[in-house]
Amino acid sequence: MSDYLPKDVLVEILSKLPLKTLVQCTTICKSWYCIIINPNFISLHHNTHINTAGRRPLLFVRHYNMFDRVERYALHFDDEELGDSSDADSFEEYLELKCPERSRSEYLRIVGCCNGLICLSDDYDKFTDTVVLWNPIIRKHVSLPNPNLGYNGRGSCIYGFGFDGVKHDYKVVRVVYNSTATEDYKLQIPPTIEFLDKLRAVKFLVPPGVEVYSLSSGVWRTISDACPSYILHQNHSVSTFLNGAVHWIASHSSDDDDGNGNSNNDCNCSGSSSSNSNCKDCSFIVALDVATEKFSEISLPDSVAERNVMKLDVMITGMSLALIEYEKFWQSDYCWIWVMTEYGVVKSWSRLHNIDLRGGFRNVVGFRTHGELLISARMVGMVSYNPKRRNISYLGIHGTNRSFHGEPFFESLALVGKEDRFAQRANSTTDVVQEVGSVLDNGEDGTVLDNGGDRTVLDNGGDGTVLDNGGDGTVPDNGEDGTEEHT
């Protein structure tokens, strides 16, 4: 029947279908398959459904369950009202997710989420290089090859994840700092003065090595314009992708000088928030443009810039950068929420909320779709906190403090069509792909997704779900992972 429909009409019909139904349609015929895997169509479908009226927003949640020692991943409906503050049942689960990788140490680090893709890294013990890109909706993932840059395990390895809207490609960035430390330092809880003094004496070797993995090429490559001589920090939060860039909290290296071998560690940013990123003692935000692969700096408000970097986190609320400022490094009594209302404009920083942590709160985990805060709390797990009403909703999510993760999630077709079953007939489908490309508009918001090749294969599974074929060793593990508890 589709042979009798104009291509633009067929594209319009397919773009309105639910994601899971659309994935099933990839097995109908060659022409439909080529339409659905086209990056322009993926963008059209994503934008159509993300703006659909009445769509219930989703929240991606991860926690490490202390009782059965298993990482748990799920999507919940992120409705505005959860009902009574003691009613955890109102936090309705949409879908339980099966993580495709198991940790070799404790549990996986969530590097970041972007356009329905989740980037996971098994780097907590500093000696594993496993990185996975995972689309939990279509149950498909890609395992990245081993990185190129070496790492002595005593420095710091920072990951970031984002989308290149120019080349329609997903990228993972890896920033490697080796250090002068001669022994391993395990975090002491609470940290003693002696322990903190030891950490201050450790020097990171700068500039760091920087490499980028491109999903479309499938390889790691070193960035020629490497990261300048400052230190990136990843505290409680994951990497933050917004406005085409990945963001981290940063500080200048303690070994920085003025170029003539003279130390320049005096703070001179007072009264000039536009220049505090140039101050040797000040904290600031570093942004890596995923398309150009260039680093830039975003200044913080003066009162925040002078704070120790260990007391700061950068996150996203809505479509704005958010900054979490803690009173102190360990067991703060208060934290403050800042929002940059106009991206890149330093004067637009505004202190939005003052959060009292003395009632058992530990740290801010993230933001919900409607602006409520997800907070790790002692004894009760992860809770939802409304800073305007100052009321708490108990979500019934328990786990170790650092394992909590929560952020808005949008379903997408990302990773569909990798090394497709019609690859051997690529020549015969070229005309179909070109025709689809001429029908579809590339979009204006830079959210076109990439369908470049990797080693995974779609398998229809017989039940309407899409499974990994296993030919590349990336079969999801649905069993218990036996991970150890992280404190």
Average pLDDT, the chain: 76
pLDDT, mean of residues 239-250: 94
pLDDT tens for residues 213-230? 999 899 999 997 677 888
pLDDT tens for residues 264-279? 444 444 434 444 555 6
In a domain, 108, yes or no: no
In a domain, 442, yes or no: yes
Q: 47 to each of 43, 411, 462, 474, how far by Cα in Å?
A: 6, 11, 29, 29
pLDDT tens for residues 158-172? 999 999 988 888 999
In a domain, 246, yes or no: no
Q: What does the pLDDT read at residue 237?
A: 66
**Helix 30-37 × helix 426-439 angle, to 10°:** 60
Whole-prediction pTM value? Answer: 0.77
pLDDT, mean of residues 251-267: 49
Q: What does the pLDDT read at residue 23?
A: 86
- Number of domains into which the chain is organized: 1
In a domain, 427, yes or no: yes
In a domain, 426, yes or no: yes
* DSSP for 303-344, written as a single string: HHHTS-GGGEEEEEETTEEEEEEESSSSS-SEEEEEEESSTT
* Residue span of the structural domain in which 19 resides: 2-51+421-463
Higher-confidence position of 214 and 430: 214
In a domain, 441, yes or no: yes
CA 288/CA 244 separation, integer angstroms: 8
116 residue type, one letter: G
In a domain, 432, yes or no: yes
pLDDT, mean of residues 8-30: 86
pLDDT tens for residues 191-210? 565 655 555 555 677 788 99
Look at residue 305 and tell me whether its pLDDT is greater than 90.
no
pLDDT tens for residues 331-357? 788 999 999 999 999 999 999 999 999
pLDDT, mean of residues 413-425: 56
Q: What does the pLDDT read at residue 142?
A: 92
In a domain, 21, yes or no: yes
pLDDT tens for residues 287-298? 999 999 999 999
